[in-house]
Amino acid sequence: MKRAAIAGTGSYLPKKVLTNKDLEKIVETSDEWITARTGIKERHIVSKEESASDLGAKAAISALRQAKVHASEVELIIVTTVTPDMFFPATACIIQDKIGAINAAAFDLNAACSGFVYGLSVAEQFIKTGVYRRVLLIATEAMSRVADYTDRGTCVLLGDGAGAAVIVPAEDDEKGILSSWLAAAGKYGNLLHVPAGGSRMPASHRTVDEHLHYMKMEGPVLFKVAIKSMVEAIKKVLSLLSISPEELALVIPHQANLRIIKAVAKGVNVPLEKFYINVDLCGNMSSASVAVALDEALKKGRIKSGDLVLLVTFGAGLTWGSCVIRF
């Protein structure tokens, strides 16, 4: 079976920037408080006219251009998002229409912040089994739409953005996605969720009045579980490949919190300098975080031919996972 490889990446961040100083005018907080606890200084926010599909379409077009693949050649579109345009149709179908990928099958995948790594694993199977030769994976999030700007514990974290990758059969047998490792623990689902809007708690005057359509988070508990799970994910995927941490050129973690990233680096004994970090400028973009960071790292020359790169994520579900790619 042919190994799956990334032929091109793209990303898009909304033009509007919301700084910590801006948040000081909205909620009881301060730049010092946010920076000390999260490492975040600013985040990008969608305009009133933008939705997840708009961001995803722009990231997709960028990735297709870099991969030199026409939209009509795409055979499958996978969109990872927790902020879809609507319940149905799938945001993947909306993006399919926007970019003119008329020959592609399309579906959404929801693994929260772990979505891009989960999506890479799914795309990899289609490529390796020969079902498809060109898969477009898009992670797109408008997290500001589920941010409660009366809750300083959560609203300061969230940002909007999209990243995309074109996955194809590897031309070089030594390169491509080497292995993935995925995990979930539904028993912790109450630690991070949006309570209302689904079939269990449909929208009503009460759910709106009580802010139940916004993200709720048990921060202190989640903090500890996130570190433990991401450390586990890194160790598991490296053990599958018999690779030592020293062999990694770069680690791209989910950008939830700088303190979490520092703790994970310490937990796996990898220098923080080997971790790609953009949480200070983007905040937590859920599944789009790793996708955007990967595109940025490639464009900035942080990833070179032959490099071993590890992606590691953690998110609501709870879900977590990792992936090692040789570029």
Active site residues: 113, 254, 284
Backbone φ, ψ for residue 129 (5° rounding): -85, -5
Distances (CA, A) of 26 to 145, 151, 194, 279, 305: 16, 10, 22, 21, 45
Q: Residue 53's Cα: distance from chain center in Å?
A: 15
Contact indicator for 136, 163 with CB cutoff of 8 Å? no
Judged by DSSP in three states, 68 sits in coil
Contact indicator for 71, 100 with CB cutoff of 8 Å? yes
Q: Residue 114's Cα: distance from chain center in Å?
A: 6
Distance CA 48, CA 58 (A): 17
**Degrees to nearest 5, angle at CA 223 with 218 and 225:** 100
Task: Show the tokens assigned to 210.
Answer: 């009580």
**Degrees to nearest 5, angle at CA 269 with 266 and 274:** 85
